[in-house]
A = this chain, B = another copy of it.
Amino acid sequence: MTQKAFQDYYTDQLSYCYGCGRLNEHGLQIKSYWDGDESVATFTPRPYHIAIPGFVYGGLIASLIDCHGTGTAAAAMYRAEGRALDTLPPFRFVTASLHVDYLKPTPLGAPLEVRGVVKEIKGRKVVVSATLSVNDQVCARGQVVAVQMPENLLPSA
């Protein structure tokens, strides 16, 4: 895709997240995009991201759903207000709760596709449900309750 990802609009100071910060060189650097009404991110686990040989580590799956969820929450809030992603003040979200159901072992090797659906926007809260699939087979489902970041945690630049 040639469009910019949700996370590409984050300010530099908010771009060091281990899961999705484009400036965290040790991190996963996931990138989320709109695909119609859903959001999508793909990530190919590294060989060491395993739980048992041949299968993806559940903590990585939780991390992908988490960051894709907060990114989707921010983008959804912009969309709900009819604003472009690069307009100020920024909407940035943190995770209030994360739930993941591991439906089956997730095979290692192919890209993981995380798809998000916005279930609710209410005040400062956005609820995003997510599926994680490999080769179109859903291996995990999750839900992220994201809340707008408190202003005292939001760097000004």
Interface residues of A (CB under 8 A from B): 13-14, 16-19, 24-27, 46, 48-53, 55, 57-60, 62-64, 66-67, 94-102, 105, 149, 153, 155
In Å, the complex CA distance between A117 and B16 comes to 33
Known A-B contacts A48-B24, A62-B66; A57 and B98 likewise in contact (beta carbons under 8 Å): no
Interface of A is mostly: mixed
In the complex, the answer to whether A19 meets B67 with C-beta atoms within 8 Å is: no
Complex-state Cα separation, A18 to B13, whole angstroms: 28
- Would you give 14 A-B contacts (Cβ < 8 Å), ordered by A? A13-B53, A17-B57, A18-B59, A19-B51, A58-B63, A58-B94, A59-B62, A59-B64, A60-B63, A63-B63, A94-B102, A94-B105, A95-B100, A97-B102
- A102–B97 alpha-carbon span in the complex (Å): 6
For A13, the chain B residues whose CB sits under 8 A away are 52-53
CB atoms of A99 and B96 under 8 A apart:
no
Contact status of A59 and B63, CB under 8 A, knowing A96-B102, A97-B99, A101-B96? yes
Known contacts A13-B53, A16-B50, A105 near B63 by CB under 8 Å: no
- Cβ contact within 8 Å between A17 and B96: no
CB-defined contacts of A62 to chain B, threshold 8 Å: 59, 62-63, 66, 98, 100
**A70 vs chain B, min Cβ distance (A):** 9
* CB-CB nearest in chain B for A54: B153
